[in-house]
């Protein structure tokens, strides 16, 4: 231990002695680390926004939905006798924090000055506190959504149809038996847009949606499961266990299919069966049609980081070669007084790793400060970016584990880049090194 401490002390003193070179290399390491922190925070921020917004507006962390087929050629996105299923879920999913049930539908909104197609979600607003937290209602009262035939729309829809609070809107839709039905509604609230999901979604009460589709009170569209935060990144094993429990309870299950429920209509309609089949999906499945943008951002961030790290490695190796050339006599002196090759290599390697740790810590501090300032500035993003960010301002999220991994990764990369030059320094012969004057 004392020998290790002595080597660390010597390495630290060498860094101080060659302060200009150490400062230059440390600044490069800090810059790369800060950029890595910013890219990671951007990716984490988008993911958090996706999860928070999407799991409130259209999906749970896990969903128990499915289809009911009156005939083999028609299918409706409904779950029958959902109360019994919800009770089973509460027993069999200890990771559950809370659950909500939503009606699912698709119809045409007809107003005095226009019409548009939209997904129709039936909500029980009194049992959905998270719903209020995500939506920014700028006109009307969201609590009025509990009233019969009340309608909540979004800003873009209100502009397109020239609607305001109190205006009448007729919703037309086809029931599960193929019969056209209409529902006269009244706009009670208008919320600000929250990205792509709000562009084709409206909300009415669950009771109103059942009236529109002529459904029984024990029928809903989907049971959305919201898990405790520590389980959100471990959905696959929970979903697999849930499928087994539902099948063991006697429910027919659909094969796992990582697509949104509305993308399954065509394939389900072609299948030769009738009655109820349940489908277990995750939030990523339900947002599969827009997850490509998030994955593209991750891929772009990875490529950019590889390029930055490659530049950093080249800079470290080049700087160390120069340092070895300048310190050749010093190396010869160390070898002459009895330091073995391994000791010389270890000394140079310790200097590099120590510089990597210090530089990456400074980079984490700089990156963290930049993230804090960017969030504080509430930078507005273009409408095309809002479609995928689910919000109108840039949002970055720092995760402690990503900060730690940044320091560890950059330090390891620095050490790896210094390994070969350190071994070459150790291979110098004492006599040749002592005789070096350049």
Mean pLDDT of the chain: 79
3-state secondary structure of 188: strand
Closest CA to 63 of 216, 209, 227: 227
Tokens of 156: 């873009």
What is the mean pLDDT of the segment spanning 158-183? 83
Q: How many CB atoms lie within 10 A of CB 3?
A: 9
What's the Cα-to-Cα distance from 287 to each of 148, 188, 261, 294, 308, rounded to whole Å?
A: 30, 28, 10, 11, 32
Q: 308 vs 369, which has greater pLDDT?
A: 369
Per residue in 38-50, pLDDT tens? 888 888 887 777 7
- Separation CA 247–CA 278 (nearest Å): 9
Query: For residues 395 and 46, what is the distance between their CA atoms, to the nearest angstrom?
Result: 7
Tens digits of per-residue pLDDT, 247-261?
998 899 888 888 888
Q: Is the pLDDT of residue 74 over 50?
A: yes
* 438 has a pLDDT exceeding 50: no
CB neighbours of residue 84 within 10 Å: 12
Evaluate if residue 124 carries a pLDDT over 60.
yes
Q: Which two tokens stand for residue 9?
A: 């002390």
Token readout for 294 is 């998030």
Write the pLDDT tens digit of every residue in 345-398: 677 677 777 778 888 888 889 988 888 888 888 777 776 666 666 666 777 888
Compute the Cα dihedral for 277, 280, 283, 286 and give only its sign. negative
6, pLDDT greater than 70: no
Confidence of residue 63 (pLDDT cuts 50, 70, 90): very high
Task: Please report the pLDDT score of residue 389 as a whole number.
Answer: 63
Average pLDDT over residues 401-419: 80
CB–CB of 338/1 below 8 Å? no
Instruction: Return the higher-pLDDT residue of 233 and 431.
Output: 233
Look at residue 323 in the predicted model and tell me its pLDDT.
Answer: 66
Tokens linked to 384: 């095309």
Distance CA 80, CA 232 (A): 27
Residue 79 confidence (pLDDT): 87
Give the residue-averaged pLDDT of 109-128.
85
3-state secondary structure of 78: coil
């Amino acid at each position: 231990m004392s020998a290790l401490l002595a080597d660390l002390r010597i390495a630290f003193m060498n860094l101080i002695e060659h302060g200009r070179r150490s400062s230059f290399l440390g600044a490069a390491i800090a810059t790369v680390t800060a950029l890595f922190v910013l890219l990671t925070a951007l990716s984490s921020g988008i993911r958090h926004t996706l999860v928070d917004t999407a799991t409130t507006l259209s999906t749970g962390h896990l969903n128990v939905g499915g289809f009911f087929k009156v005939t083999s050629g028609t299918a409706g996105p409904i779950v029958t006798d959902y109360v019994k299923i919800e009770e089973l879920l509460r027993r069999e999913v200890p990771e559950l924090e809370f659950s909500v049930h939503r009606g699912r539908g698709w119809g045409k909104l007809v107003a005095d000055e226009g019409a548009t197609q939209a997904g129709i979600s039936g909500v029980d607003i009194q049992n959905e506190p998270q719903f209020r937290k995500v939506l920014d209602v700028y006109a009307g009262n969201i609590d009025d959504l509990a009233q019969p035939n009340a309608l909540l729309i979004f800003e873009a829809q209100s502009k397109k149809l020239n609607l305001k609070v109190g205006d009448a809107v007729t919703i037309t839709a086809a029931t599960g038996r193929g019969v056209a039905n209409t529902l006269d509604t009244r706009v009670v609230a208008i919320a600000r847009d929250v990205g792509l999901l709000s562009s084709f979604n409206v909300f009415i009460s669950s009771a109103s949606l059942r009236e529109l589709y002529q459904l029984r009170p024990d029928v809903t569209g989907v049971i959305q499961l919201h898990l405790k935060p520590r389980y959100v990144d471990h959905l696959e094993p929970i979903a697999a266990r849930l499928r087994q429990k539902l099948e063991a309870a006697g429910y027919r299950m659909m094969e796992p299919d990582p697509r949104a429920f509305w993308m399954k209509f065509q394939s389900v309609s072609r299948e030769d069966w009738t009655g109820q089949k349940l489908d277990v999906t995750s939030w990523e499945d339900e947002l599969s049609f827009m997850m490509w943008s998030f994955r593209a951002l991750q891929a772009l961030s990875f490529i950019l980081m590889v390029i930055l790290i490659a530049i950093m490695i080249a800079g470290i190796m080049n700087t160390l070669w120069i340092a070895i050339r300048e310190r050749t006599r010093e190396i010869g002196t160390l070898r002459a007084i009895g330091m073995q090759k391994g000791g010389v290599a270890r000394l140079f390697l310790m200097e590099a790793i120590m510089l990597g740790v210090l530089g990456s810590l400074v980079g984490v501090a700089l990156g963290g400060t930049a993230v804090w300032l960017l969030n504080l500035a509430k930078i507005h993003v273009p409408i095309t970016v809002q479609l995928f960010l689910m919000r109108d301002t840039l949002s970055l999220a720092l995760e402690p584990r990503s900060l730690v991994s940044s320091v560890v990764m950059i330090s390891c990369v620095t050490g790896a880049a210094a390994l070969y030059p350190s071994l070459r320094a150790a291979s110098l012969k004492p006599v040749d090194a002592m005789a070096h004057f350049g």
